């Protein structure tokens, strides 16, 4: 098991993105309601935020709810949003104390007033923090995001001259650096409509551990795997 002292720790990627998958199967394996799996998933998320902040990751982006997750039962969907509000409210003080800056990427249109105001409160309170930037992808879909950017562009004079960096600025994360490392726990090896533009050259690390069981040690293992990769970006 990877267990580094701060000194031995391999170079930490600037931006880590995580597809938090496996909550449902975790609950199924225990014969408990899915809600409990999502709850355990939130606990895992908070641990990973704390850890990422401690080891000096600059950006952590988590996939919390996709544009396709609306296909699930209303009960499951509203449970996920309720949990999110609960955790955001409960953890806000500690996040703020640890200088974490929170933002949310995705389409806010369908969010209830309760969700919107909990998110706005979190974003407002933490907006001047200089520590870890914690990006929550909520009602996020990469295709919807790219389409949104294309529509914004279509309404301007610039569409003929836009370059890749200019187009990226129209996406939710603006001029934030792309993820260096994309982690997907939960056993599946696919992107599921997450950050399609931004992960063009990200290193991918998959793990069979279900998200609620994902620990800082697992995260360190992913960073260790990342550190052993040779990134070439198409060059030599
Ligand atoms: C990920 O866990 C959380 C969300 C998609 C909201 P899942 O709920 O997809 O868990 P599995 O894949 O069914 O195990
Ligand atoms: C991806 O997981 C979305 C989130 C983790 C929020 P899914 O469980 O929705 O992805 P698929 O359906 O297995 O591709
Ligand atoms: Mg899943």
Query: Which CATH number characterizes residue 76's domain?
Result: 3.40.1180.10
Q: What is the mean pLDDT of residues 157-168?
A: 94
- Asked if 16 and 61 count as a contact pair (C-beta separation under 8 A), the reply is yes
Annotated catalytic residue, options 3, 23, 54, 69: 69
Q: Ligand 3 being an ion, which residues bring their Cβ within 5 A of it?
A: 21
235 inside domain = no
DSSP string, 107-146: --TT--HHHHHHHHHHHHHHTT--S-EEEEEEEE-HHHHH
So what's the pLDDT on residue 183?
Answer: 98
How far, in Å, CA of 10 to CA of 227, rounded? 6
9 inside domain = no
- Asked if 19 and 236 count as a contact pair (C-beta separation under 8 A), the reply is no
98 given a catalytic annotation: no
Q: In the chain, what percentage of residues exceed pLDDT 90?
A: 93
pLDDT, the chain, mean? 95
- Asked if 235 and 21 count as a contact pair (C-beta separation under 8 A), the reply is no
What is the model's pTM?
0.95
Tokens of 77: 């969907």
| Torsions phi, psi for 24 (to 5 deg) | -65, -50
- Ranges assigned E (strand) in the chain: 15-19, 59-66, 101-105, 133-140, 181-184, 203-206
Residue 191 structural domain: 15-226
Q: What is the mean pLDDT of residues 174-192?
A: 97
103 given a catalytic annotation: no
So what's the pLDDT on residue 10?
Answer: 62
Q: In the chain, what percentage of residues exceed pLDDT 70?
A: 96
3 inside domain = no
28 inside domain = yes
Query: Do β-strands 15-19 and 181-184 pair in parallel, antiparallel, or remain unpaired?
Result: parallel
Res. 1: pLDDT tops 50: no
Q: What is the mean pLDDT of residues 21-42?
A: 98
Res. 128: pLDDT tops 70: yes
How far, in Å, CA of 34 to CA of 27, rounded? 5
Report the number of distinct structural domains present in the chain: 1
DSSP string, 159-182: GGT--HHHHHHTSTTTTPPPPSEE
Res. 118: pLDDT tops 60: yes
How far, in Å, CA of 39 to CA of 35, rounded? 6
- Of all protein residues, the one whose alpha carbon is nearest to atom 12 of ligand 2 is 192
8 inside domain = no
Q: What is the mean pLDDT of residues 117-126?
A: 98
233 inside domain = no
- Ligand 1 test: best mutation among 19, 24, 184, most atoms within 8 Å of CB? 24
232 inside domain = no
1 inside domain = no
So what's the pLDDT on residue 13?
Answer: 97
């Amino acid at each position: 098991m990877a267990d580094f002292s701060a000194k031995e720790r391999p170079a930490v990627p600037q931006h880590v993105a995580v597809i938090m998958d496996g909550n449902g199967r975790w609950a199924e394996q225990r014969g408990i309601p899915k809600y409990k799996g999502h709850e355990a998933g939130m606990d895992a998320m908070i641990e990973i935020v704390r850890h990422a902040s401690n080891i000096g990751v600059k950006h952590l982006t988590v996939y919390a709810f996709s544009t396709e997750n609306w296909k699930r039962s209303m009960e499951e969907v509203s449970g996920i949003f309720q949990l999110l509000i609960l955790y955001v409210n409960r953890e806000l003080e500690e996040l703020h104390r640890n200088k974490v800056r929170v933002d949310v990427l995705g389409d806010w249109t369908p969010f209830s007033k309760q969700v919107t105001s909990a998110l706005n409160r979190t974003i407002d309170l933490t907006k001047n923090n200089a520590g870890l930037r914690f990006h929550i992808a909520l009602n996020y879909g990469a295709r919807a995001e790219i389409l949104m950017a294309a529509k914004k562009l279509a309404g301007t004079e610039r569409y003929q001259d836009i370059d890749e960096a200019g187009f990226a600025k129209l996406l939710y994360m603006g001029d934030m650096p792309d993820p260096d490392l994309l982690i997907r726990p939960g056993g599946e090896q696919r992107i599921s409509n997450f950050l399609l533009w931004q992960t063009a050259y990200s290193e991918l690390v998959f793990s069979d551990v279900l998200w609620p069981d994902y620990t800082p040690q697992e995260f360190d293992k992913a960073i260790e795997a990342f550190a052993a990769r040779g990134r070439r970006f198409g060059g030599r």
